[in-house]
Amino acid sequence: MAGYYELKQATDGQYHFTLKAGNHEVILTSERYTTKPAAENGIDSCRINSGNDNRYDRKVAKNGQPYFNLKAGNGQVIGTSEMYSSEAARENGIQSVKTNGKGPMKFKES
């Protein structure tokens, strides 16, 4: 099964999306958006930028765990990964976003 985006509306009315791999594991999480069209634009930006290795900002948290941000061409963060146990695991996560980033969108109200 291919990856997909899940767009949700929170109880406060804001929207966010997650990119999930074919096994339904979350591989990227967006920030919150005030409108559904803004969140859909975020998904479009993710689709456009996910295949470009230069758009991945590889980072290390204060606790030493690697993670990454996917950024748009203007430098704005589109989404953030989970924390990984190693740099190799982070690279696997990036590869998964590259592979699954062109997936379709599903809308779920939460």
Model pLDDT for residues 5-26, shown as the tens digit of each residue: 999 999 999 999 999 998 999 9
Q: What stretches in the chain show pLDDT beneath 50?
A: 110
The pTM assigned to this predicted structure is 0.90
Residue-range domain boundaries for the chain: 4-104
Strands (E), the chain: 4-9, 15-20, 26-30, 56-60, 66-71, 77-80, 105-109
Token pair for residue 81?
Answer: 């990964």
pLDDT score of 55: 97
4-104 CATH choice from 2.30.29.80, 2.40.430.10, 3.30.460.10, 3.40.50.720: 2.30.29.80
The pLDDT, as a whole number, for residue 81 is 98
Q: 45: closest CA among 110, 105, 91, 95?
A: 105
Per-residue model confidence (pLDDT) at position 108 = 59
The phi, psi pair for 72, rounded to 5°, reads -80, 175
